[in-house]
Amino acid sequence: MQTLFIILILFLISIFSVLLYFKTKVNRLDLLNSGECPTCKQKRKTFFDKNTNTTFTSEVISSRVLRNHGCSGVIEVEYSCKNCGLKEVHSINSSSNCGV
């Protein structure tokens, strides 16, 4: 009975850690998409030039498409941070526009 209880606890812990892993991964992706680095917390900078009345944005995060699986709708994007050199690959589900 006791071993069964321990197995149940371990099972719950593993489920929670998997959920937590996905949650943090989604959070990181959100940060990257909003132009903020999840590691060094550096955000995109905006400058306003009064002389020319234009706003310049300096991106910290640059994204690059590694692989596009086309009709399956999964795109692998590599995000890199110019400030700390972070490199992360995320697969993004895109709504496929392949006609059926």
- Residue numbers of the site for Zn ion (CB under 5 A)? 37, 39-40, 81, 83-84, 86
* 77 vs 86 by CB, closer to Zn ion: 86
* 50 vs 87 by CB, closer to Zn ion: 87
Residue 30 Cβ vs Zn ion, minimum distance, rounded to whole Å:
15
Residue 83 Cβ vs Zn ion, minimum distance, rounded to whole Å:
4
* 62 vs 68 by CB, closer to Zn ion: 62
DSSP string of the chain, one letter each residue: -HHHHHHHHHHHHHHHHHHHHHHHHHHHHHHHHTT--TTT----EEEEETTTTEEEEE-SEEEEEEEE-GGG-EEEEEEEETTT--EEEEEEE-------
Q: Which residues pair with 61 in a beta bridge?
A: 81
* 37 vs 77 by CB, closer to Zn ion: 37
Classified as helix, coil or strand, 16 is helix
Residue 23 Cβ vs Zn ion, minimum distance, rounded to whole Å:
20
Residue 66 Cβ vs Zn ion, minimum distance, rounded to whole Å:
19
